[in-house]
Amino acid sequence: MRNSRLPVAAAAILWTVIAAESCAAPPDWTTHKDRNGFTVSLPPGWKAAADRKSGRVAIDGPARQQVVVWPVFLPAGLQRASAGAVLRRLAASAGFGSYAWREPLVVGDATIRFAGSSGDRAAVASFTWAASAKGTAGYLFITAAPSAAYCGQEAAFTGILESFRAAGAPAKDVPGALPFVQWRDPLEGAFTAQVPSGWTVEGGLFRVASVDVRSALDITSPDRQVRITFGDRNMPPFVEPDQMLAMAGIREGSPYSPGYGVVFLVQRYLPGAEFARQYVALRPAKGCANLVFTENRSRPDIDNVVNGVYRRFAAAGMSLELRSGDASFTCQENGQPMAGYYFAGTLRTRAASMPGGNWHVEHLLGYVAAREKAALAQQVMERIVASIAINPDWARRQQQTTMETSRIVAETSAAISKVSSDTYWSRQRSNDELSRRRSNATLGVEDVIDPATGRQIQVESGSNYYWIDARGAIVGTETHTLPSIDFRALTRLP
């Protein structure tokens, strides 16, 4: 895994999503922290151990239950057509060679799983992968138990897999045996991460509003030759421009607040690859000369995995879609050659009954470093992102805050919408009236209403009173004198 770039980050992103959304482990479970670089929550009587050579983690239960988590790296690309054969071979290498596996089920473009059995035992194996320039990185997951009891173990299997966290490679994997220390968010205690000892670390969880929280880290080496960032506290949430906002005079580039301290920036949706490129030029490489993007690509391999998780947790009538991408670049800073890399994942939220949608930058990480230290920056970034862990107590508190705010928003959104609409139509009516009067003055006409039919009629101006007969003939007079009994008065519009 150390030879891959984004697969490590992708796995960490997926774990972060699960950690933020899932419930805490039952109170009688314990957390196993392994010296080989992972933590996992276990039910009573379960044990976990890692094979240091292969990186495979084996978790065993007291009633012959088994869970296997195995990060693997393949030096070549992987296609869906060959994924089934790869999964069978990995399962055999993990000790499940005697199992008879059924036909594989393909889930998206980069996840495959199948069920199998051996004697009185049942198992489910799955493999999810992500491609990189150097090969394919992925994770093998296997759960097994006696056939008669397998279904009853699903809650335990799910809890174990959702709690699994990789803490990153040992410090000796980083050039120079760089030591790492545990860093805790100083603002709300929302998350922890492992960071290089002696490096400058700034940031934490910034609460802009009750439901607008932004995590950001800025990590700089002592010689200031490496700068790694995660998130951006100045990055607001976005709302896509739509007809309703345009009618209210709120256009792209304008701020828009629905209330409760939340301020959106009206901005068309940008997929991750496009956002990463624009962000690099705007922030990390702003002071660089000769900026050249050596690679800028979308990452559907990551999107397929993460969007599967979002679909599990999306509320009815809502859709969540992540589109991620990355950008590699070179530039010169004060004459020094620099190299950098940024990954961005933008999450779009849309309601089935509403136009447009909201979006925000769900994942943003990368670095700028002196060219000769780019490899160090890459490894440190991977180590940090793989170590990030959400505080489950904070996640529960934030979920409650979000639910309470959401209820308030739901109860008042109709009123807000009506105020916006009424304001627009009132202004529109006023504008229409001014336009009508200006046009009539230019053409020498004015408007009258026939009270009997409600029809609006345009007549030549110059009279004080206007009349119409049964045949539709219109007459103007200077005084309020009925021309004949066949006529009725017309009402002048101001």
Q: If 0-12 CB within 10 Å is exposed, 13-18 middle and 19+ buried, where does residue 137 land?
A: buried
Please, what is the average pLDDT of the chain? 79
- What is the reported pLDDT for 231? 93
The CA-atom distances, in angstroms, between 384 and each of 17, 34, 268, 359, 377 are 16, 17, 32, 26, 11
CATH 3.40.1000.10 domain position(s) in the chain: 171-411
| Cα gap 269→282, rounded to integer Å | 17
Chain segment 19-56, per-residue pLDDT in tens: 333 344 566 899 888 887 788 899 999 999 988 777 88
CB-based contact 140:94 (threshold 8 Å) = yes
Q: Which of 123, 130, 81 is nearest to 106 (CA)?
A: 81
CATH class (in words) of the domain with range 171-411: alpha beta
Q: Residue 361: which pLDDT band, with cuts at 50, 70 and 90?
A: very high
257, pLDDT greater than 60: yes
Between these two residues, 435 and 215, which has the higher pLDDT value?
Answer: 215
Structure tokens at 410: 């739901």
Strand locations in 286-357, DSSP E?
289-298, 318-333, 336-351
Beta strands 358-370; 66-74: pairing state: unpaired
**Mean pLDDT, range 85-98, rounded to an integer:** 88
- What is the reported pLDDT for 123? 94
Across 109-118, 319-328, 374-383, 452-461, least confident range: 452-461
Across 128-132, 338-342, 401-405, least confident range: 401-405
Q: Which fold has domain 6-166?
A: Protein Transport Mog1p; Chain A (3.40.1000)
- What is the reported pLDDT for 27? 65
263, pLDDT greater than 60: yes
pTM of model > 0.75: no
Q: Residue 221: which pLDDT band, with cuts at 50, 70 and 90?
A: very high
CB-based contact 228:222 (threshold 8 Å) = no
